[in-house]
Structure 1
Amino acid sequence: MREPRAAREQPPLTRARIVGEAVALLDEEGIDGLTMRRLAERIGSGVTTLYWHVDTKDDVVDLALDAIFGELPPAPPADTKWREAIAALLLDWRTAMLRHPWSAALLQRPTLGPNLLARMEFLQAALVRAGFTGDHLTAATWTLYNYLMGATVARAGFALSEEDREAAQRRLRDRSEEFPTLSANEYMLEDDWDGTFVRGLGYVLDGIAGAADQ
């Protein structure tokens, strides 16, 4: 005679919900952990149902990648000085990728979404304001992009514990005659990733500003 328990209602299945769950799954397990079956189980639907909203797993990855760039604050106003605008853009970009470490390895995909393309457009427009055109614009763009990506991938993939780093530094001290600079400057103990990125970006922008003035 007991009344049947009402079924728990699930939020409607939409592309936005699929992408949000894909981002969460990627954050937890990385790119190897994302399968359409795992994603369907997480959402509480069948795999076939997912394909009503997305065509392939690659589409899910592309949408998830672009979604994290939609989390960024708005780009600085167009009249911001070009150097300040680029610094703010790249700092926010790095923050987003470190929040979602899987993303840094996927930015060479052939399909780039509108959120990411908007950042690239802003970057090049700032460099154009600085006076770059043609091959010089291409070189300046890739210099900044490569610095950002190299620094971010290195930080996201760094897995040495404090004990490991101290042991490595002791080995350098033991061989200080062979590696005097690394030993004296405690190469393996430096862990100010954020400060180093900001200072390095300043060095890169100094060089670019000098090229723009020529």
Structure 2
Amino acid sequence: MSAASTSSRDRIIEASIAILDGSGEDGLTFRALSERLATGPGAIYWHVPNKGDLLTAACDAIIARAMNAPLVGATPQAIIRTLALGMFDAIDAHPWVGSALTRAPGQLPMVRILERIGRQVSALGVPDEEQWATVGALLNYILGVGAQNAANGQLGRTRGIDRSDFLDAVATTWSQLDPDAYAFTRSMAAHLRGHDDRRDFLAGIDLILSGIEASRRL
């Protein structure tokens, strides 16, 4: 592919990302893209044949940025935490990425994540026969929690809900639950008001990493 062709494809992908961020998947059409780029649909089809491939290419561009963080000299644990948080932030900033990943199993966006996380799991000394399950647990947690967080944020923005007001209302409701039937939930009411989503996410990563370390000592 020539430099000019690569540049044109990159422009198409960046324009697609902007449309997806602003209008979601429904807003990404070749017509909207043509208007944004001031070009004909044929020029776009030459680089990307259909909307599915366009969505995957846009997703891959976001994932590549998140996975390419420079982490020279860091421990495998630190790298996993950084990559996981990078993915969490990327999905939060681009809510469509979560669903785009589920539509591209085995393709480059997922392969990038698998490779980068997998290398760190291997570096942690996880036995070969346990690496697939270990990487799967990390990926399921990262992508699942990241997508849910992004969905919550998007729902709040769509409905004009203030996060602090929402959490305060839920905490108030929890604090009034029956103390015998809902003892734990009631005890969490005070924590709910001020909890930090990113910090809670990293706490889950640390629990998984602690489990990996503990299993190696058995």
Length-normalised TM-score, structure 2: 0.81
> After the TM superposition, which residues 28-107 of structure 1 pair with which residues of structure 2 at under 5 Å, given as runs?
28-72=22-66, 73-77=68-72, 80-107=74-101
Say what the alpha-carbon RMSD is for the aligned residues.
2.3
Task: For CA contacts below 8 A with separation 6 or more, give which structure has more relative contact order.
Answer: 2
- Post-superposition Cα deviations, 1:4-28, rounded to whole Å, max 9, x if no partner, equal xxxxxxxx98111100000000111
**Aligned-residue identity in percent:** 25
Q: Which runs of 4+ in 1 moved over 4 A?
A: none
Paired residues in the alignment total 201
The yes-or-no answer on 1:192 pairing with 2:176 is: no
Largest Rg, 1 or 2: 1
- Post-superposition Cα deviations, 1:169-191, rounded to whole Å, max 9, x if no partner, equal 32222323232222222165344
Going by fraction, where is helix more abundant, 1 or 2? 2
Provide the rounded CA distance (Å) in 2 between the counterparts of 1:23 and 1:96: 12
Q: Tell me what 1:207 maps to.
A: 211
Unaligned runs of 5+ in 1: 1-11
Unaligned runs of 5+ in 2: 1-5
**Counterpart contact for 2:63–2:112, Cα < 8 Å:** no
Q: Tell me what 2:16 maps to.
A: 22
Q: What amino acid maps onto 1:63 in structure 2?
A: A
Distance 1:13 1:135, change over 3 A: closer
**SS of residue matched to 2:46:** coil
TM-aligned CA deviation for residue 137 of structure 1: 0.5
Length-normalised TM-score, structure 1: 0.83
**Counterpart contact for 2:91–2:146, Cα < 8 Å:** yes
Provide the rounded CA distance (Å) in 1 between the counterparts of 2:173 and 2:91: 33
